[in-house]
Amino acid sequence: MKILLSILMMLATAMFIFNLFQIDWQSPISGKSSVAVIGVMASACAFILLLILVISKRINKRLKK
pLDDT band at 59 (very low <50, low <70, confident <90, very high): very high
**60 CB neighbour count, 10 Å cutoff:** 9
Q: The whole model's pTM is what?
A: 0.86
Q: What is the pLDDT of residues 20-55, one digit of tens each?
A: 999 988 888 888 889 999 999 999 999 999 999 999
Q: What pLDDT does residue 50 have?
A: 97
pLDDT of res. 51? 96
